Structure 1
Amino acid sequence: MVQIKIYGLAEKLNPIKPELSNIIHAAVVEVLQIAPEKRFHRFFPLEQADFYYPSDRTDNYVIIEIIMFVGRSIDTKKQLIRQIIQEINQQLHIDVDDIEMTIFETPKQNWGIRGLPGDELTLNYKVEV
Protein backbone atom coordinates (compact mmCIF):
# COMPACT_ATOMS: atom_id res chain seq x y z
CA MET A 1 0.00 0.00 0.00
CA VAL A 2 1.24 3.47 -0.86
CA GLN A 3 -0.56 6.72 -0.05
CA ILE A 4 0.77 10.11 -1.05
CA LYS A 5 0.16 13.61 0.31
CA ILE A 6 1.29 16.69 -1.61
CA TYR A 7 1.46 20.15 -0.03
CA GLY A 8 2.14 23.50 -1.66
CA LEU A 9 0.84 27.02 -2.19
CA ALA A 10 -2.64 26.80 -3.72
CA GLU A 11 -1.86 29.25 -6.53
CA LYS A 12 1.13 27.14 -7.63
CA LEU A 13 -0.10 23.64 -6.76
CA ASN A 14 -3.63 23.72 -8.19
CA PRO A 15 -2.61 24.28 -11.84
CA ILE A 16 -0.13 21.37 -11.83
CA LYS A 17 -2.07 18.72 -9.88
CA PRO A 18 -2.73 16.34 -12.80
CA GLU A 19 0.84 16.50 -14.10
CA LEU A 20 2.35 16.17 -10.63
CA SER A 21 0.12 13.22 -9.82
CA ASN A 22 1.11 11.53 -13.09
CA ILE A 23 4.83 12.06 -12.43
CA ILE A 24 4.63 10.66 -8.91
CA HIS A 25 2.42 7.76 -9.92
CA ALA A 26 4.64 6.75 -12.83
CA ALA A 27 7.63 6.56 -10.47
CA VAL A 28 5.70 4.57 -7.85
CA VAL A 29 4.52 2.09 -10.49
CA GLU A 30 8.00 1.72 -11.99
CA VAL A 31 10.19 1.74 -8.88
CA LEU A 32 7.90 0.16 -6.28
CA GLN A 33 6.17 -2.09 -8.83
CA ILE A 34 2.74 -1.04 -7.62
CA ALA A 35 -0.23 -1.94 -9.83
CA PRO A 36 -1.17 1.05 -12.02
CA GLU A 37 -4.74 1.18 -10.67
CA LYS A 38 -3.44 1.75 -7.10
CA ARG A 39 -3.28 5.57 -7.19
CA PHE A 40 -3.94 7.13 -3.76
CA HIS A 41 -2.98 10.83 -3.92
CA ARG A 42 -4.25 13.68 -1.76
CA PHE A 43 -3.43 17.31 -2.48
CA PHE A 44 -3.27 19.99 0.18
CA PRO A 45 -3.25 23.39 -1.54
CA LEU A 46 -2.47 25.99 1.14
CA GLU A 47 -2.94 29.73 1.34
CA GLN A 48 0.19 31.80 1.97
CA ALA A 49 -0.96 32.44 5.56
CA ASP A 50 -1.06 28.67 6.20
CA PHE A 51 2.27 27.66 4.68
CA TYR A 52 5.51 28.82 6.28
CA TYR A 53 8.76 27.75 4.69
CA PRO A 54 12.42 28.87 4.68
CA SER A 55 13.37 32.06 2.87
CA ASP A 56 15.68 30.15 0.53
CA ARG A 57 12.65 28.37 -1.03
CA THR A 58 10.41 29.92 -3.69
CA ASP A 59 6.64 29.94 -4.07
CA ASN A 60 7.03 26.68 -6.03
CA TYR A 61 8.08 24.87 -2.84
CA VAL A 62 6.32 21.51 -2.60
CA ILE A 63 6.36 18.83 0.09
CA ILE A 64 5.61 15.22 -0.81
CA GLU A 65 4.91 12.63 1.88
CA ILE A 66 4.86 8.97 0.90
CA ILE A 67 3.29 6.55 3.35
CA MET A 68 3.84 2.87 2.62
CA PHE A 69 4.23 -0.60 4.03
CA VAL A 70 7.59 -1.47 5.53
CA GLY A 71 9.66 -3.74 3.30
CA ARG A 72 11.30 -1.80 0.48
CA SER A 73 15.08 -1.76 0.33
CA ILE A 74 17.12 1.37 0.99
CA ASP A 75 18.22 1.40 -2.66
CA THR A 76 14.61 1.20 -3.84
CA LYS A 77 13.58 4.12 -1.64
CA LYS A 78 16.54 6.21 -2.81
CA GLN A 79 15.73 5.42 -6.43
CA LEU A 80 12.11 6.51 -5.86
CA ILE A 81 13.19 9.80 -4.30
CA ARG A 82 15.70 10.53 -7.06
CA GLN A 83 13.30 9.67 -9.86
CA ILE A 84 10.41 11.75 -8.52
CA ILE A 85 12.61 14.79 -7.89
CA GLN A 86 14.30 14.50 -11.29
CA GLU A 87 11.02 14.16 -13.18
CA ILE A 88 9.34 17.04 -11.34
CA ASN A 89 12.37 19.19 -12.08
CA GLN A 90 12.51 18.22 -15.76
CA GLN A 91 8.80 18.19 -16.56
CA LEU A 92 7.47 20.98 -14.34
CA HIS A 93 10.65 23.08 -14.10
CA ILE A 94 10.53 23.20 -10.30
CA ASP A 95 14.00 23.64 -8.86
CA VAL A 96 15.28 20.65 -6.89
CA ASP A 97 15.73 22.94 -3.87
CA ASP A 98 11.96 23.50 -3.91
CA ILE A 99 11.08 19.78 -3.73
CA GLU A 100 11.15 17.91 -0.43
CA MET A 101 10.06 14.34 0.19
CA THR A 102 9.64 12.15 3.22
CA ILE A 103 8.92 8.43 3.21
CA PHE A 104 6.99 7.10 6.20
CA GLU A 105 6.98 3.34 6.60
CA THR A 106 4.33 1.54 8.59
CA PRO A 107 4.07 -2.16 9.45
CA LYS A 108 1.28 -3.87 7.52
CA GLN A 109 -0.58 -4.73 10.70
CA ASN A 110 -0.98 -1.01 11.45
CA TRP A 111 -3.14 -0.44 8.34
CA GLY A 112 -6.84 -1.15 7.99
CA ILE A 113 -7.75 -1.85 4.36
CA ARG A 114 -10.91 -3.34 2.88
CA GLY A 115 -12.06 -4.41 6.34
CA LEU A 116 -8.86 -6.21 7.29
CA PRO A 117 -5.55 -5.47 8.97
CA GLY A 118 -2.96 -4.98 6.24
CA ASP A 119 -0.98 -8.08 7.19
CA GLU A 120 -4.05 -10.22 6.42
CA LEU A 121 -4.50 -8.86 2.89
CA THR A 122 -3.69 -10.72 -0.29
CA LEU A 123 -1.79 -8.19 -2.41
CA ASN A 124 -1.36 -8.27 -6.18
CA TYR A 125 2.15 -6.78 -5.88
CA LYS A 126 5.33 -7.41 -3.90
CA VAL A 127 6.36 -5.10 -1.09
CA GLU A 128 9.88 -6.47 -0.80
CA VAL A 129 11.48 -4.73 -3.79
Structure 2
Amino acid sequence: MGQIKIYGVKDKLNPIKERVSDVIHSCMVETLQFPPDKKFHRFFPMDKENFYYASGRTEAYTVIEVSMFEGRTIEVKKQLINLLFERIKMELNISPQDIEITIFETPKNNWGIRGLPADELTLNYKVNI
Protein backbone atom coordinates (compact mmCIF):
# COMPACT_ATOMS: atom_id res chain seq x y z
CA MET A 1 0.00 0.00 0.00
CA GLY A 2 1.19 3.47 -0.74
CA GLN A 3 -0.25 6.93 -0.42
CA ILE A 4 1.50 9.72 -2.30
CA LYS A 5 1.25 13.44 -1.51
CA ILE A 6 2.64 15.96 -3.99
CA TYR A 7 3.14 19.61 -3.02
CA GLY A 8 4.09 22.44 -5.34
CA VAL A 9 3.37 25.96 -6.58
CA LYS A 10 -0.07 25.67 -8.15
CA ASP A 11 0.77 27.61 -11.33
CA LYS A 12 3.54 25.10 -12.09
CA LEU A 13 1.98 21.94 -10.65
CA ASN A 14 -1.62 22.11 -11.90
CA PRO A 15 -0.84 21.92 -15.63
CA ILE A 16 1.30 18.79 -15.19
CA LYS A 17 -0.53 16.91 -12.40
CA GLU A 18 -1.59 13.97 -14.56
CA ARG A 19 1.90 13.55 -16.01
CA VAL A 20 3.50 13.81 -12.55
CA SER A 21 1.10 11.17 -11.26
CA ASP A 22 1.87 8.86 -14.18
CA VAL A 23 5.63 9.24 -13.71
CA ILE A 24 5.48 8.62 -9.97
CA HIS A 25 3.23 5.62 -10.41
CA SER A 26 5.45 4.07 -13.08
CA CYS A 27 8.35 4.28 -10.62
CA MET A 28 6.29 2.70 -7.83
CA VAL A 29 5.21 -0.16 -10.09
CA GLU A 30 8.73 -0.77 -11.37
CA THR A 31 10.69 -0.59 -8.13
CA LEU A 32 8.16 -1.61 -5.47
CA GLN A 33 6.21 -4.02 -7.68
CA PHE A 34 2.95 -2.20 -6.97
CA PRO A 35 -0.02 -3.48 -8.96
CA PRO A 36 -0.72 -1.08 -11.84
CA ASP A 37 -4.27 -0.44 -10.57
CA LYS A 38 -3.10 0.66 -7.07
CA LYS A 39 -2.70 4.42 -7.48
CA PHE A 40 -3.45 6.69 -4.53
CA HIS A 41 -2.11 10.20 -5.22
CA ARG A 42 -3.11 13.49 -3.59
CA PHE A 43 -2.03 16.86 -4.95
CA PHE A 44 -1.56 19.97 -2.87
CA PRO A 45 -1.14 22.88 -5.30
CA MET A 46 -0.28 25.95 -3.26
CA ASP A 47 -0.28 29.67 -3.82
CA LYS A 48 3.28 30.88 -4.26
CA GLU A 49 3.06 33.05 -1.14
CA ASN A 50 2.26 29.94 0.95
CA PHE A 51 5.05 27.69 -0.32
CA TYR A 52 8.49 28.68 0.90
CA TYR A 53 11.64 26.97 -0.32
CA ALA A 54 15.39 27.48 -0.11
CA SER A 55 17.43 29.56 -2.52
CA GLY A 56 18.73 27.56 -5.44
CA ARG A 57 15.26 26.15 -6.10
CA THR A 58 12.82 27.42 -8.72
CA GLU A 59 9.04 27.67 -8.88
CA ALA A 60 9.12 24.07 -10.14
CA TYR A 61 10.18 22.98 -6.63
CA THR A 62 8.09 19.91 -5.74
CA VAL A 63 7.84 17.84 -2.57
CA ILE A 64 6.85 14.19 -2.88
CA GLU A 65 5.88 12.27 0.26
CA VAL A 66 5.46 8.51 0.02
CA SER A 67 3.63 6.75 2.87
CA MET A 68 3.81 2.97 2.65
CA PHE A 69 3.94 -0.27 4.59
CA GLU A 70 7.32 -1.04 6.08
CA GLY A 71 9.26 -3.97 4.67
CA ARG A 72 11.23 -2.78 1.63
CA THR A 73 15.01 -2.96 1.74
CA ILE A 74 17.18 0.14 1.81
CA GLU A 75 18.39 -0.73 -1.69
CA VAL A 76 14.84 -0.86 -3.08
CA LYS A 77 13.95 2.49 -1.48
CA LYS A 78 17.10 4.06 -2.93
CA GLN A 79 16.20 2.62 -6.34
CA LEU A 80 12.79 4.29 -6.04
CA ILE A 81 14.30 7.64 -5.11
CA ASN A 82 16.88 7.50 -7.90
CA LEU A 83 14.31 6.44 -10.50
CA LEU A 84 11.99 9.27 -9.45
CA PHE A 85 14.78 11.83 -9.88
CA GLU A 86 15.71 10.34 -13.26
CA ARG A 87 12.21 10.08 -14.72
CA ILE A 88 11.01 13.44 -13.42
CA LYS A 89 14.03 15.05 -15.07
CA MET A 90 13.62 13.10 -18.32
CA GLU A 91 9.84 13.23 -18.70
CA LEU A 92 8.93 16.50 -16.97
CA ASN A 93 12.15 18.47 -17.35
CA ILE A 94 12.26 19.26 -13.63
CA SER A 95 15.75 19.32 -12.18
CA PRO A 96 16.57 16.99 -9.28
CA GLN A 97 17.53 20.21 -7.47
CA ASP A 98 13.82 21.08 -7.50
CA ILE A 99 12.60 17.71 -6.17
CA GLU A 100 12.51 16.50 -2.58
CA ILE A 101 11.32 13.00 -1.73
CA THR A 102 10.50 11.62 1.69
CA ILE A 103 9.49 8.02 2.39
CA PHE A 104 7.45 7.33 5.51
CA GLU A 105 7.09 3.68 6.48
CA THR A 106 4.67 2.32 9.05
CA PRO A 107 3.68 -1.19 10.13
CA LYS A 108 0.62 -2.62 8.41
CA ASN A 109 -1.24 -2.68 11.74
CA ASN A 110 -1.15 1.16 11.70
CA TRP A 111 -3.25 1.28 8.50
CA GLY A 112 -7.01 0.81 8.18
CA ILE A 113 -8.04 -0.26 4.67
CA ARG A 114 -11.33 -1.61 3.31
CA GLY A 115 -12.75 -2.00 6.81
CA LEU A 116 -9.81 -3.90 8.31
CA PRO A 117 -6.43 -3.29 9.89
CA ALA A 118 -4.02 -3.79 6.97
CA ASP A 119 -2.17 -6.60 8.72
CA GLU A 120 -5.38 -8.64 8.40
CA LEU A 121 -5.69 -8.05 4.63
CA THR A 122 -4.64 -10.41 1.89
CA LEU A 123 -2.52 -8.39 -0.54
CA ASN A 124 -1.99 -9.14 -4.22
CA TYR A 125 1.57 -7.80 -4.14
CA LYS A 126 4.73 -8.27 -2.08
CA VAL A 127 5.87 -5.83 0.58
CA ASN A 128 9.11 -7.51 1.64
CA ILE A 129 11.29 -6.90 -1.40
Shorter-chain TM-score: what band?
over 0.9
Report deviation, 1:50: 1.0
Quote the Cα distance in structure 2 between the aligned partners of 1:30 and 1:54.
31
Quote the Cα distance in structure 1 between the aligned partners of 2:55 and 2:48.
13
Quote the Cα distance in structure 2 between the aligned partners of 1:14 and 1:127.
31
Residue type of the alignment partner of 2:113 = I
Deviations along 1:48-106, one digit per CA (max 9) or x if unpaired, are 11101112110000000000000000000000000011000011111110010000001
Q: Counterpart in 2 of 1:74?
A: 74
Identity of aligned residues (%): 60
Report deviation, 1:39: 0.2
Q: Counterpart in 1 of 2:5?
A: 5
SS of the residue corresponding to residue 100 of structure 1 reads strand
Deviations along 1:4-26, one digit per CA (max 9) or x if unpaired, are 00000000000110111000000
Deviations along 1:21-43, one digit per CA (max 9) or x if unpaired, are 00000010111001110000000
Q: Counterpart in 2 of 1:96?
A: 96
Q: Counterpart in 1 of 2:115?
A: 115
Aligned length: 129
Gaps of 5+ in 2: none
Residue type of the alignment partner of 1:119 = D
SS of the residue corresponding to residue 8 of structure 1 reads strand
Gaps of 5+ in 1: none
Quote the Cα distance in structure 2 between the aligned partners of 1:49 and 1:106.
32
Residue type of the alignment partner of 1:2 = G
TM-score (norm 2): 0.99
TM-score (norm 1): 0.99
Quote the Cα distance in structure 2 between the aligned partners of 1:11 and 1:88.
18
Q: Counterpart in 2 of 1:61?
A: 61
What's the Cα RMSD here? 0.5
